[in-house]
Amino acid sequence: MGGRHVAHVFVPARFVCITLHLFGLFALITTDGKKNSIEVTIYPFRHDVNNEMYNAKVQSATLEMDTALVWGILFCIFEMISMTIGSISIESPLFSCVSVAIHFVAAILLFFTIFDGWSYLTYINYIFWYTSFVPFVLEVLLDIMSYRDTYLYIGKKIVELVRNCTGKKP
pLDDT above 70 coverage of the chain, percent = 86
pTM of the model: 0.79
Torsion of Cα atoms, 150 then 152 then 158 then 163, to 10°: -150
> According to the model, what pLDDT value does residue 21 have?
94
163 inside domain: no
71 inside domain: yes
> According to the model, what pLDDT value does residue 73 have?
95
Torsion of Cα atoms, 120 then 121 then 124 then 128, to 10°: -80
> According to the model, what pLDDT value does residue 1 have?
43
CB distance 122 to 113 below 8 Å:
yes
165 inside domain: no
pLDDT band at 39, cuts 50/70/90?
confident
Domain count across the chain = 1
Summarised one tens digit per residue, pLDDT across range 88-104 is 777 777 888 899 999 99
Mean pLDDT of 17-35: 89
> According to the model, what pLDDT value does residue 167 have?
63
150 inside domain: no
